[in-house]
Structure 1
Amino acid sequence: MNKRNTVLLAVLAAGVGAATIWGRGDPGGSATTTEAVVNVTLPDTFSGAARMGQRAFNSTCAACHGANAAGSDAGPPLVHRIYEPSHHGDEAFELAVKNGVRAHHWKFGNMPSQPGLTDADLSAVIAYVRELQRANGID
């Protein structure tokens, strides 16, 4: 490999690395990771509804949205300012779960509907997510 190709390869590698670092946690970024997208602080205690929601979340939502809604390589974190109640109210979560939603803040792809959650499950999941958000300064 000649010197010019070596330099071009090094510049390309540096650019990819910088793009990956820049994209982590950025709603417009496209970087993926198997780690949590954000760090989540758990509340000292959960309400009864949130504890039920945690179980439903873990069985239905965590595969994409990560443990404690911290995000993953398959879905965005729900403990994020984008999902604060004034921007995405409870109804937005309900509609997303019932109807699916087109990707619009993140580049994880479209979210399919989740028909396995009952209305009671969904209410409990929302309580869980909102309590996680409040524990992380999002309200």
Structure 2
Amino acid sequence: MKRPVILVGLAILVVAVVVWRNYPAPSNNAASGKPLAQVNVPTLTGEAKVGEAAFDDNCASCHGPDAAGQDGVAPPLVHIIYEPGHHGDQAFYLAARQGVRSHHWPFGDMPPVEGVSDQDISRIVAYVRALQRANGIN
């Protein structure tokens, strides 16, 4: 009975350490809007290329160009926290449709994204996943 509790506690501790080690240090100017991640942008094709435009139209104002995040505004999506094994593609659909309560980052709640279609979200996910792969996040 104690073993599952210990394993769950250990898993939570590992996740907390990964988040803490990968979380950017706070800046003196909390709303500077500076990128929070350095993103290598690959040559994009197909859905990922179309997704770049959809991301720019619907997400970049908060999550920054190339999903690098913005200090004091929103987190980078090119970050290990958003790897497919932790935040699957469905998480992006739910975030866009329903918004997200603040849980990994201190930016506050994310509101729903008005007017974004499922097709747009699918393309945005393709774009974000292409950026993640190009930056070693699989």
Question: If the TM-score is normalised by the length of the shorter chain, which range does it land in?
Answer: 0.7 to 0.9
Note the residue ranges of structure 2 that are not aligned, 5 or more in a row.
Answer: 1-19
Partner of 1:137: 136
Partner of 1:34: 33
Partner of 2:56: 58
Between 1:30-39 and 1:47-56, the stretch displaced more is 30-39
Partner of 2:85: 86
Distance in 2 (CA, whole Å) between partners of 1:137 and 1:40 is 10
1:115 Cα deviation from its structure 2 partner: 2.3
1:34 Cα deviation from its structure 2 partner: 2.0
Runs of 4 or more consecutive aligned structure 1 residues displaced over 4 Å after TM superposition: none
Partner of 1:128: 127
TM (normalized to structure 2)? Answer: 0.78
Percent of aligned pairs sharing the same letter: 53
TM (normalized to structure 1)? Answer: 0.77
Contact 1:30 1:108 in 2 (8 A): no
Distance in 2 (CA, whole Å) between partners of 1:47 and 1:123 is 14
Distance in 2 (CA, whole Å) between partners of 1:66 and 1:84 is 18
For these two proteins, the number of residue pairs brought into alignment is 114
